Structure 1
Amino acid sequence: MTPAVADGGTQTGRGSTPSTGEDVRKGRRALLAATVGGVVESFDWTLYAVLAPFFAAQVFPGDDPVTQLLGAYLGFAVGFVVRPLGSYLMGRIADARGRRFGLTLSMAVISVASVLIAALPTAATIGAAAPVLLVGLRLVQGLSMGGENPSAAAYVTETAPRSVRFLYSALSYSGVIIGNILSFGVLTLLLGTLGKDGVTGGGWRIGFLVAAVLGLLALWIRRGAQESEEFAEQAAHRPTAAERRALLRTHSRQLAAVFLITLGATIGYYFGTTYLPQYAAQLGVVSAADSAAAMLLPLVALIAAMAVVGRLADRLGALRTLRTGLALLTVATVPLMTALAHRTLPMWLVTVVYLLLIAAPIGLANVLFAQLFPVAVRVVAMGVPFTLATGLFGGTFPLLAQALGKAGHLTLVPWWAAGAAAVSFLGTFLIRPPTDPSASDSIPPATREDPA
């Protein structure tokens, strides 16, 4: 059994000496480089969804608004479908060429695609080529975004000071929440200044230009970031294709664990941040507009909760903290939503409490998952099961929940979310210390110490 460092961090190949001031400064620069990518990715992803009703009529030919909107949402779905492939392709690049190169490449592609979407000719100008180009650009963005989060997770894992590694995990993932908030802020600003007709008439392009500017800012920050020392130390010993496949087979339990843990975490995330306002509206508790407007402060509270959970994980052990969070999410989801349905608890309180419950699963996953795999295959091994579970369960959750509501089974939605959290809780018990000695630094101390 390998002893854990006193602060709950993870031992690395560089020894167990405390983090120096220079380590902390480098770690903060790396954290910023990783976090801005999450902001841009989430901003661009959410912005497309909220602007789709405004640009659909311009980009998709025809006279039926419903058909045009469905076409726009097809472009949204394409991104989910190709993300696992993007995790593999971009992950191979990041595992071979370096974290900094992978992060810079993915952000450059996302930014260029945003510019091209902003400049996209309308269907009235180029006909059916307009939607084809839009879907193609979203496909390219989806491929790049598939490698963005896993590459950032690996980078934070390899550069963060050991004593605050899971705090950095939470802070880096908070970029996703910030991106969501900014996207709704931009839409509100556009509607306030241009009006609905102005946004529909072409103002939507400004949103994608903002996404491109944010991407270029992130690209500039990342170009100044240093390569991970842990990757640089092993860069001279790149494995062959056969050796990579053998590494992945050796870590099959960890691959399954990432998929199962992500399953419940992503459903909880989409339930709490995306579908909960609609769920409350369908219950007749509040109007959809009022519940959506009330999401800002709970999302800010989520960011704060993620930071607290990250600090606890650094002190108490990440796996122990994650299991506690998933257990609470499992047992509390149905009672919370039942209290909301019976108006025992107000909407704002249910929202805040539920988002606090998902803080551990989404805040700790970045670094915890990355630590499960050796450096040589870290991005691919973490990214493929992560994006696959997100696409299959997170991306489809609003659709499934809506279908259950339409069929008169709305009360089953919380049970589905609670069941998924239970699956994730059980999935944590698949995590074992790897048999591959090269990955001996990849398991959090809580995992080594816990025979489960």
Structure 2
Amino acid sequence: MQVDGALAARPGRAAVSMKGRRELIAGAVGGIVESFDWTIYAILAPFFASQMFAGEDGLTKLLSAYAGFAVGFVVRPLGSYLLGRIADARGRRFALVISMATICLGSLLIAVLPTAATIGVAAPVLLVLLRALQGIAMGGENPSVAAYITETAPENRRFLYSSLSYTGAFIGNIVCFVVVGALMAVMGEQGVTDGGWRIGFVVAAVFGVLAFWVRSSAAESEEFESEKQVEEPRPKVREHLRNMLAVFLMTTGTTVGVYYGTVYLPEYAAQVGVEHSVATNLEMVPALLALIAAMAVSGLLADRFGGMRVFRVGALALAVGTVPLMTALAQGWLPMWAVATCYLVLGVAPTTAVANVMYSEVFPVAVRVVAMGVPFTLAIALFGGTFPLLAEGLAALGSLTAVPWVAAGTAVITLLGTWVFKRG
């Protein structure tokens, strides 16, 4: 199997290509909901921490809230395995519908969860359990989408479809920043802290219902259906350990880049002295729009020149560009919107645009979601999900300048992983 070249012809492939756009929409809407749900928690954590966690120290409450953010990532590998088994046995669409229903339910329950003043320690316990439930669902979400898009995209547009499906995640980020900005503008910081934050989770639940409806009407992957008819011994996951290791290594720096550039950057800007306001969150919107455009361009370039070449360009940009950009932000040499745009367009876009299809294609259809998903979500759990918590911890210790170096170091690991990756 060759990653950077055209796929061999498969039964029913032409028919799949004709309806690939519908499957693309079904995959992308899930990304919108997933990223909105995940990002809304991280951005609103400073506002709801004082209500949902007991105690007097504000920093301890905030760190506890970010710990809840990390817990959702810790369980993602479990969700990737459980839902991956379902996706590989029952179908991609079936697993995607289940994951979306679970994510939607979790957001709705968080929106109505009583505070610590009302139910005591049960409040943070329930909050963390709901985030864990969503984390399990999200663990199977991205790998299932990756397999779904890989198996339904047109032959010569695989990486473009990969990039467009992943843009759903950043569209969700944009909508999230707009919603939070609107809440801050209408209710003020105190109003959001006093309960306005719940509106964000209500919006997340509504988006989840819409995505559930779209996915319920989508068709199953014909490549998966064809594979089910083949009476041959199923491949073993352990036969693909090298590429599973490569996926893990290549995801480390990319996931840190995503969460640094799209989730934590406004808080980091505030930590280095950039005034935190409604405008700080809204400044992320043009940067994210530029990211979406850059991802589409990266997908087109990957279809022309190869996914690995484009991926390595992005990983190199993250490795050598993170520290200079964040230094420029801290010193006031560049405004936040410029730093965010450069970081996302040059580093995050090329890596995230091609990763889904590039990862999933090297694994057989019968074990594709599990083999790609477990190392992918494990890297996200260890590096992406813990990044805001790690960054806040370093800031509390007076070592905020170490944060960009940590991000750059993980990008170096990603570059090393590209030479472990076996295409063939």
TM-score by length of 2: 0.90
CA 1:122–1:384: 2 relative to 1, 3 Å: same
Are 2:256 and 2:383, in contact at CA under 8 Å, matched by a contact in 1?
Answer: yes
Name the stretch that deviates more: 415-424 or 86-95.
415-424
**Residue 360 of structure 1: CA displacement?**
1.0
Partner of 1:79: 72
CA 1:68–1:404: 2 relative to 1, 3 Å: closer
Pick from 207, 224, 241: which aligns with 1:252?
Answer: 241
CA 1:55–1:349: 2 relative to 1, 3 Å: closer
CA 1:281–1:314: 2 relative to 1, 3 Å: same
Percent identity between the two aligned chains: 60
Structure-to-structure mapping, 1:196-345, within 5 angstroms:
196-237=189-230, 247-284=236-273, 286-289=274-277, 291-340=280-329, 345=334
Report the residue type matching 2:109 in the other structure: L
**Equivalent-residue separation in structure 1 for 2:231 and 2:404 (angstroms):** 46
Pick from 78, 89, 92: which aligns with 1:96?
Answer: 89
**Residue 342 of structure 1: CA displacement?**
5.3
1:220-239 superposed Cα distances (whole Å, 9 cap, x missing partner): 00011000011111124588
Report the residue type matching 1:116 in the other structure: L
Partner of 1:355: 344
**Residue 387 of structure 1: CA displacement?**
1.0
4+ residue runs of structure 1 moved beyond 6 angstroms? Answer: 2-5
Does 1:40 pair with 2:30? Answer: no
**Residue 423 of structure 1: CA displacement?**
1.9
Pick from 11, 14, 30: which aligns with 1:14?
Answer: 11
**Equivalent-residue separation in structure 2 for 1:90 and 1:367 (angstroms):** 19
Name the stretch that deviates more: 193-202 or 307-316.
193-202
**Equivalent-residue separation in structure 1 for 2:52 and 2:397 (angstroms):** 33
**Residue 30 of structure 1: CA displacement?**
0.4
Please state whether the residue corresponding to 1:138 is helix, strand or coil. Answer: helix
**Residue 13 of structure 1: CA displacement?**
2.8
**Residue 420 of structure 1: CA displacement?**
2.1
Partner of 1:27: 20
Does 1:157 pair with 2:146? Answer: no
Report the residue type matching 2:366 in the other structure: A
Q: Which runs of 5+ in 1 are unaligned?
A: 434-447
Are 1:9 and 1:164, in contact at CA under 8 Å, matched by a contact in 2?
Answer: no
Are 2:173 and 2:262, in contact at CA under 8 Å, matched by a contact in 1?
Answer: no
TM-score by length of 1: 0.84
CA 1:123–1:331: 2 relative to 1, 3 Å: closer
**Residue 278 of structure 1: CA displacement?**
4.2
Name the stretch that deviates more: 188-197 or 204-213.
188-197
Are 1:404 and 1:410, in contact at CA under 8 Å, matched by a contact in 2?
Answer: yes
CA 1:14–1:321: 2 relative to 1, 3 Å: farther
CA 1:202–1:340: 2 relative to 1, 3 Å: closer
Please state whether the residue corresponding to 2:180 is helix, strand or coil. Answer: helix
Are 1:42 and 1:179, in contact at CA under 8 Å, matched by a contact in 2?
Answer: yes
**Equivalent-residue separation in structure 1 for 2:402 and 2:187 (angstroms):** 41
Are 2:151 and 2:223, in contact at CA under 8 Å, matched by a contact in 1?
Answer: yes
Are 2:163 and 2:296, in contact at CA under 8 Å, matched by a contact in 1?
Answer: yes
**Equivalent-residue separation in structure 1 for 2:334 and 2:263 (angstroms):** 20
**Residue 197 of structure 1: CA displacement?**
4.5
**Residue 309 of structure 1: CA displacement?**
0.2
**Residue 283 of structure 1: CA displacement?**
4.4
Pick from 156, 162, 185: which aligns with 2:178?
Answer: 185
**Equivalent-residue separation in structure 1 for 2:285 and 2:340 (angstroms):** 11
Are 1:238 and 1:376, in contact at CA under 8 Å, matched by a contact in 2?
Answer: no
Are 1:96 and 1:238, in contact at CA under 8 Å, matched by a contact in 2?
Answer: no
1:104-155 superposed Cα distances (whole Å, 9 cap, x missing partner): 0000111122222223234454443333322222211111011111111111
Partner of 1:368: 358
Partner of 1:387: 377
Say what the alpha-carbon RMSD is for the aligned residues. 2.8
**Residue 67 of structure 1: CA displacement?**
4.9
Does 1:427 pair with 2:420? Answer: no
**Residue 174 of structure 1: CA displacement?**
0.9
Q: How many correspondences in the alignment?
A: 422
Name the stretch that deviates more: 345-354 or 112-121.
345-354
CA 1:71–1:263: 2 relative to 1, 3 Å: closer
**Residue 273 of structure 1: CA displacement?**
2.3
Please state whether the residue corresponding to 2:256 is helix, strand or coil. Answer: helix
Report the residue type matching 1:76 in the other structure: F
**Equivalent-residue separation in structure 2 for 1:54 and 1:280 (angstroms):** 17
